[in-house]
Structures are given as structure tokens and as C-alpha cells.
Amino acid sequence: MWMTNPQLGFHQLEESIGNICGTILCLSIILIMLSPPPLLGAISPQFIIEAPEALQPLAAHLKEMNPASLQRIMDFMGLQHPGPPIRVILAPNESPLAQEAPEWMSGYAMGQTSTIVLFTDRSLTYPNDSLNDVFLHEIAHILAHRAAGGQPLPRWFDEGLAMMAARTWDLEDRARLVWAMVSGTEVSLDELNSLFMKDDTTVRRAYVLAHAFTLDLLEHTQGDVPRHILAKVKQGLTFPEAFAQSTFMTLTHAEKEFWSRQTLWNRWIPVATSSGMVWLTITFLAFWAYTKQRRRSAAIKKQWKEDDWEV
């Protein structure tokens, strides 16, 4: 009669478990070696903020900027390291920097010197709703400049990237795009660059068109196209060359495709069907019904008085 050896079975089981654990350990080591260093991308930009005594609380607030927002901008630009600290100057209206800048401007960035200037007393206008938005917008300019290796970028692309990084496309943007289409003619990308150098109304139109073109580009290509374009510019390609190699189309073709999709019907439908517009319509209808009822009641009461007088 054949009998199994209990000790032999135990040793075989122990050996199998040991082999499995060893395999898991080896696979874990391989995955760790293949993964990018997590700490490198987690480093956030550092800031050196210069502000008068009265603006020190605001400076402290800006220093507490959410690291996740900064990391998102870095990822969008394709940066693994933010680079050296960014100088931030908080300038009230009485400062020389504010006196020299147009009144509609709430801030600007200088990529060559890694400097951001924020005008703290200015009334905020489109495309920024808060000083935090302005700050993120200008940070995006600095990081785009670094991602491109300091090489020049077209103004429309630079502003479009900054707006994509700092804010989401919302109902206001859609409404402004509809108005830009109704109130103006189609402009080329070269003409769009020049719009940023004119009056405040024209500049706001330039912002919304730059934002719309960049958003349209991402919707009809891959979401990582901006980082590829910036990386190729950094490698020494001209912007048109980097754009063509990253999107597989020329700037002229992309421009024609964009305007062919910007029919009034296509852009008005999202505005008309948005939740905000629905509630606005409901409110208007309710007010109209209320006004109509008041007028009807007033007419009935007037008729009653006339009937009483006749009696």
C-alpha cells in the first residue's frame, strides 16, 4: 500500500510559497525601477514675493497657493521640475509699475527674468475673476517659457495655454465667443497676435479667440499636444515646425479647420441649452407671466369701477 510522506508534502508546499514570494518580490523591484521618480514631479514652483507692508497678508495668502493647481500647470506644460524660484511683485496703484501699465491690465509676466507683476488695486476684467486667477495665469506664462527653453512663442498660443491652465471654458467664454463672431470678422492667427496690442475691448476679444482656438486644438488632437509643441520648440524647431510635427497639420490648415467649426449655430446651442440660460429663461417667463397677470387684474378692476359708475 502506497502512502505519501507528510514531511515531503510540507516541504514541497513551503518551496512553492517561497517561489511565489520571490517572483512577486522580483516583479515589484522591476516595476519600481521602471516607474519615474515620484518626488521629481511633485516639486512645486517656489516664489519670492516682494510687497509693501500693507500687502503682506496678501503675499502670505499667495504663498499658500494650492500645490495641486501648480502641479497641474506643470503637467500641462510637460515640466518635471519647475526651475528656479519665481519673483512676484505686488504693485499697488500708486507704484511706478502700475503707473506705467495700461489701466485694464491686472498683471503680467516676464519669462526672461522669471518675474510676475500683480496690480493689486485694479478692477479685474476678463479673463480673470480673482487675483488668484491672475496669479495662476501669469505662473503659466513663466512655466510655458521654461518648457519652451526660453524660445519665443506666438502670443495667441502663449495666452491660450495660460488660459487653459488657469481656468475652464465656461458659459461666459461661450457667450463671448458668440459675440466675437457676431461683432467681428474672422481673423488669422497672425492678426490675432496683433489684437493683443490694441485697446481693452479688442484685447478681451483676442483672449477669448486664443482660448477658443487652443481648446478646439486640444479637442481635435491629443491632450498632450501642448507639451509636445513646447518640447520641440525647446529642441530648436521653429514654432510652425513644432506645431506641424505635433499635430500633423500646418498652422494654416488648423486655422481653416477652426473657423469652419465656428458657425453661429454650433456655438450658440451650448449657450442656449446651458443650465444658466435655462434658469434665466424660466425667470424671464415667470416675470412675464406675473406682469401679464397684474395687467389683466388691473384691467378687470378698472372695468368693475366703470360698470359701478354706469350703474
Question: Hey, where are the domains in the chain?
Answer: 40-147, 167-274
Q: What is the pTM of this model?
A: 0.71
Q: What is the pLDDT of residue 35?
A: 46
In the chain, alpha helices (H): 6-34, 38-41, 56-63, 67-77, 96-100, 131-147, 155-166, 171-183, 189-195, 200-219, 225-234, 239-247, 251-261, 264-272, 275-310
Architecture of domain 40-147 in this structure: 3-Layer(aba) Sandwich (3.40)
Given this model, what pLDDT does residue 128 score? 76
Q: What is the pLDDT at residue 185?
A: 77
Residue 81: C-alpha distances to residues 41, 49, 162 (Å): 6, 20, 18
Sheet containing 86-91: order of strands: 47-50, 86-91, 115-119, 107-110
For 224, the grid coordinates are 498632450
Q: What is the pLDDT of residue 123?
A: 77
How far, CA to CA in Å, does 128 sit from each of 79, 163, 166, 295?
A: 24, 9, 9, 43
CA proximity to 84, closest of 143, 140, 133, 37: 143
Q: How far is CA 255 from the centre of its chain?
A: 21
pLDDT below 50 — which residues of the chain? Answer: 1-4, 8, 10, 13, 32, 35-42, 265, 267-274, 277-282, 285-286, 309-311
Give pLDDT, residue 160: 95
Helix (H) or strand (E) holding 118: strand 115-119
Q: Give me the pLDDT at residue 271, please.
A: 46
